[in-house]
Copies of this chain bind each other. A is one copy, B any other.
Amino acid sequence: MRSFASDNYSGVHTEIMQAIMDANEDHMSSYGADPVSAEAEVLFKEHFGQQAKIFFLTTGTATNTLILRHLCQSWNSVICSEDAHINVDECGSPESMGIKLMLAETVNGKITVDTIKPLVPSEPDVHRAQPAVVSITQNTELGTLYTIDEIKSICDFAHSKGLYVHMDGARIANAAEALGVAFKEMTVDCGVDVLSFGGTKNGCMCAEAAVFINPEAGINFEYLRKQNMQLISKMRFVGAQFKAMLTDELWKRNAAHSNSQARKLAGKAGAIEGVKITRPVEANGVFAIIPEHAVEKLQEKFPFYVWDEQTGEVRWMTSWSTTDEDIEDFCAAMKELI
């Protein structure tokens, strides 16, 4: 099967698989107290600072939900986009842990200080959930990017109101590569407090990290992770994935390929008559409207998702493993069906 359904339809990049095999020697302490995880942590701190607290997990939903849970008291809420993965795609995971989401108006996946503002009350009120966090997704669920300045504005506003800023970085590598910046410039330097750092979609097997750039915010997170069933025993194999990902800039090589394939796809598909690219293609997602009769037949050959049932808008994701041939075959099939 070749697919544009999601970057997680891909397998594991060779360098990461090799790191996993390399870690498979000897006995090692379990639950993260192993030397491989320690090495990975050192690499993370090169990006996010020596003060950062890093925790490894295995799913993006867990990383997002547990970070938000940790930043909130039970009466707090989280401000986010109505398109946010935490709102739409996690089966109510945040709410199942008692977190109220407050949805800010959103344009192309992005929220702004102006749309956040009305959700922050002028004074505390025992009858209302009190916002404690603003959560943004970089790059967004709609394949768009917050600029450095936009992130800074949101952080400045949030901090002026005593709120934390969380960044859902399931595709953080794609974003950094697309913006041409280091992770640090897009997070630490902007004032982001906590980051969900995604490895899985960019070539790992199952590797996500909760990065508390603001270390105060991460105190005792180890208990929350364990209690919420996210502390895998043979953690060395997650550490190994991150070690490979952060060595020789594999993260950037994979992201660059993925982003470039998205642009290529948008170019080629957009040139087909009857196909309309509907959103800016800023990272590795392409949104489009194609003739309705072609959708299902095309999906049979190359799985992808209908994003919006009302409008018929579809989503195509590229990944580190998307080949030129994939794109050519896909566009050829589309052309034929249309």
* Separation of A62 and B90 alpha carbons in the complex (Å): 17
Q: Assess A321 versus B11: contact at CB under 8 Å? Given A58-B58, A73-B223, A205-B237.
A: no
CB neighbours of A88 from chain B (8 A): 128
A234 within 8 A of B: yes
A42 within 8 A of B: no
CB neighbours of A321 from chain B (8 A): 27
A127 within 8 A of B: yes
A-B contact pairs, 14 of them (CB 8 A): A1-B27, A6-B233, A8-B30, A8-B234, A9-B30, A11-B234, A62-B230, A75-B227, A91-B226, A91-B227, A96-B100, A103-B103, A200-B234, A229-B229
A229-243 CB contact bits vs B (8 Å, 1 = yes)? 111111011000000
A105 to chain B minimum Cβ distance, whole angstroms, is 12
Q: Assess A11 versus B31: contact at CB under 8 Å? Given A75-B96, A93-B228.
A: no
Q: Are B12 and A93 in contact (CB under 8 A)?
A: no
Most chain B CB atoms below 10 A, which of A3, A226, A310: A226
Q: Are B95 and A95 in contact (CB under 8 A)?
A: yes
Q: Are A24 and B11 in contact (CB under 8 A)?
A: yes
Q: Are A27 and B12 in contact (CB under 8 A)?
A: no
* Separation of A131 and B46 alpha carbons in the complex (Å): 36
Q: Are B91 and A223 in contact (CB under 8 A)?
A: yes
CB neighbours of A118 from chain B (8 A): 310
